[in-house]
Amino acid sequence: MHHWIDDLLQRWFIILLVWVIIGVIALHVHMDDAGKKDIDFGAAVISGVAIVYSVLLTVQTRRAASAARFCERWNAVDFTTARREVGLAVRGEKKIEEIESRSVVVVLNFFEEMSISIQMGEAQEPLLRKFFKGVVIKGSATFTPWIKQRQPKATKRFFRNI
């Protein structure tokens, strides 16, 4: 999911903004008093845009920090046992039935939380996609049958109705 804030935070936008500011200053110097009032108004509008831009930059920074926290949690010592167990099944070193189901549920809940954060715009998808792409693709192939086997039909109907 590509977020529109990402488009505004590109280098071309910043360069354009700097050139507009330089142009406004040059016009202000060469205008008469009536023209300077128009330029002052334009400068106020540009200031408003700059404030909005800084807010968007803050949002983008929070999204990147949220994505980084998912990466940190994945590599945390507390997550090692679940990650190792699930990794054995994904790599085919152990049958999924031989793994403690708690480890599988912990890892799947982690990815569900990450997915919801991306969908809500709270985490930066490109960073997470780079970090987790292989794990998610291989894990999906391994755990989809396991999930379908344990998912009650009533739950599927319930969520379809929501």
**Residue 154, pLDDT above cutoff 80:** no
Domain boundaries, the chain: 4-151
- Residue 162: the pLDDT is 44
CB–CB of 131/110 below 8 Å? Answer: no
Give the Cα-Cα-Cα angle 82, 131, 76 (nearest 5 degrees). Answer: 35
CB–CB of 6/60 below 8 Å? Answer: yes
Exposure string over 103-131, b if 16+ CB within 10 A, otherwise e? bbebbbebbeebeebbeeeebbbebbeeb
What type of residue is 116? I
Verdict on whether the full-model pTM lies above 0.75: no
**Residue 44, pLDDT above cutoff 90:** no
**Residue 2, pLDDT above cutoff 70:** no
The span from the CA of 119 to the CA of 108, in Å, is 16
Write the pLDDT tens digit of every residue in 59-108.
888 999 999 999 999 999 999 999 999 999 989 899 888 888 899 999 99
